[in-house]
Amino acid sequence: MDLTRRNILLGAGLITSGYFLSSPTVQAAAGSSKSFTSVAELQAGINSASAGDLLLLAAGTYTDAALTVTTHGLTIRAELPGKVIFSGSSHVVIKSDHTVLSGFQFLNGEYPGIVIRVFGSDNRIEDLNFFGYSAKKYINLEAGSQRNEIFYCNFENKPVTAPMGNLVGVIPDSQVPGYHRIRFCSFKNNLGAGGDNGNEPIRLGDGALVFRNGIDNMAYGNSFINAGGIRIKEASNIFCFDNYFENSGIGGRANSVTLEYLENNLNNINFLSNTFINCGAIILGGSGPLANRWANNLFVKPTGVIFSRPNQGTQWLGNIYQGSLGIPTTSGLKPGVPRFTHKTNDYYRPSTTTPTKSASVAGFLIPAMYDGLAPMNPLGVDLFQNSRPTKVEQWDLGAIQYSKYAKNFGPMTAKSTGPRYA
């Protein structure tokens, strides 16, 4: 079955740049404000509320809390952000549009299914903290929903004994594009089996950041540092650009990039203008993938091989590498010695004398842009949103364009991701 799904993943994981889509039209709280001291009272308030109402739950610990939202346009918040704790078998179902759910913690509970299921559109899930909570999944954006946002949430210490399942799932629909946004979230210390066995941070489809069972998806402006990377399986028409990988896929179960071939998949996979510094092997999927492209990427790896499981269906354009390829040489993969400036807790930035300056080549496939992207052409800016030159041939290789006056923009930390009350 041909599953059509368009999603934007921005800042998936601990660190991100400031790319954004135009904000969904979340209903601002313009009605009455009401406070509640029990979950039962809150549920009754939700049932009788009107669009624009603000519903507040008092500080405290609530066991086996269950909420279902069917009224459109509500804002449901912790009265004191971070001071409302859901434990036991707590869960939320959102069947409404223009809903805001904000400020709650899910701590050390146990729910066998999906903690938060979102069936509606234009909803915003923000400032939630999941810690030590045993569940199959934490959040699902269900098939047919659109323009939902997950902002400033933390997903941490999912128990190894929890049911197998990824942390955030985006479920594809054969007819309805998603246009969801996931930004400024943190994923920490989740030690499950990984891969198809669960505990993937974000998974697109029924299946690191994982594209599975969908087409026409993009991931850009992300950084993967001392963490997993991107896995693509049962998916096609994927564009990954302006991403930065450092020590990604080192010492863990996930690689920096893994392509897993199943029949009639892994077609038209595009990695454009990404930077890889001292990463685990990039797995190319072996025989089967077709019409894939790696263009204007930068690979630096002092020890070990850069690639493994080569395929015959990849075109290489304008890439530079330092280290051992691990695959047959090709004109689109040239050896070089990039030069960087690097400060503690900062990115490896290109220096003024690096051979990667203005070294990009044209000829790669441009991703389809659609309404709502800002900037309208995100490929025309780098990881830090510095504008790239008009001509592709003047672009620097990798995710970062050289700038004499570099922005003071280091990798994000626990203080700049996850709930804002932490």
3-state SS assignment for residue 250: coil
Report the predicted TM-score, pTM, of the whole model to 2 decimal places: 0.75
pLDDT above 60: residue 11 = no
First to last CA, the chain: 44
On whether the CB atoms of residues 220 and 378 are closer than 8 A, the answer is yes
Q: In 3-state terms, what secondary structure has residue 394?
A: helix
Which is more confident, 2 or 240? 240
3-state class of 62 per DSSP? strand
Q: Where are the alpha helices (DSSP H) in 27-110?
A: 39-48
The residues that bridge with 233 in the sheet, in sequence order, are 212, 260
Average pLDDT over residues 255-270: 89
Is residue 71 predicted with pLDDT exceeding 50? yes
Cα–Cα separations (whole angstroms), residue 21 to 177, 237, 348, 370: 15, 20, 27, 11
Return the percentage of the chain with pLDDT > 70, whole number.
Answer: 85
pLDDT at 398: 97
Q: How far is CA 375 from its chain centroid?
A: 18
Predicted confidence (pLDDT) at residue 241 exceeds the cutoff of 80: yes
| pLDDT greater than 50 at residue 363 | yes
Q: What is the mean pLDDT of residues 40-65?
A: 98
Highest mean pLDDT: which of 218-222, 253-257, 274-278?
274-278
Q: Exposed, middle or buried by CB within 10 Å (0-12, 13-18, 19+), for 265?
A: buried
Residue 159 burial (CB < 10 Å; 0-12/13-18/19+)? middle
C-alpha pair distances (Å), 386 with each of 271, 339, 381, 399, 417: 19, 20, 5, 10, 22
Whether the predicted pLDDT of 20 surpasses 50: no
pLDDT band at 160 (very low <50, low <70, confident <90, very high): confident
As a whole number of angstroms, the distance between CA 346 and CA 317 comes to 28
Q: Which residues contact 343 (CB under 8 A, 6 or more apart)?
A: none
pLDDT band of 329, cuts 50, 70, 90:
confident
pLDDT of 335 strictly over 60: yes
pLDDT digits (tens, 9 = 90+) for 396-421: 999 999 987 766 666 666 666 788 98
Give dist(CA 122, CA 51) in Å, integer. 14
Give 136-160 as a DSSP string: SEEEEE-TT--S-EEES-EEE---T
**H-type alpha helices, 221-346:** none
Contact, 249 vs 228, CB < 8 A? yes
317: tokens are: 């354009």
Using the predicted structure, report yes or no on whether residue 369 has a pLDDT greater than 50.
yes
Give the mean pLDDT of 254-282.
Answer: 91
Per-residue pLDDT at 4 exceeds 50: no
Cβ(54)–Cβ(29) below 8 Å: yes
Whole-number Å distance between alpha carbons of 409 and 53: 38
Q: Torsion-angle region of residue 325: left (phi > 0), alpha (psi -120 to 50) or beta?
A: alpha
pLDDT per residue over 103-126, tens digit each? Answer: 999 999 999 999 999 999 999 999
Residue 418's pLDDT is 81
170-228: per-residue pLDDT in tens? Answer: 888 878 888 888 888 888 777 766 666 666 788 765 446 777 767 788 888 888 888 77
What is the per-residue pLDDT across 283-328, written as a single tens digit (0 to 9) for each? 999 988 889 999 999 999 999 999 999 998 999 999 999 999 999 9
Confidence at residue 94, expressed as pLDDT on a 0 to 100 scale: 98
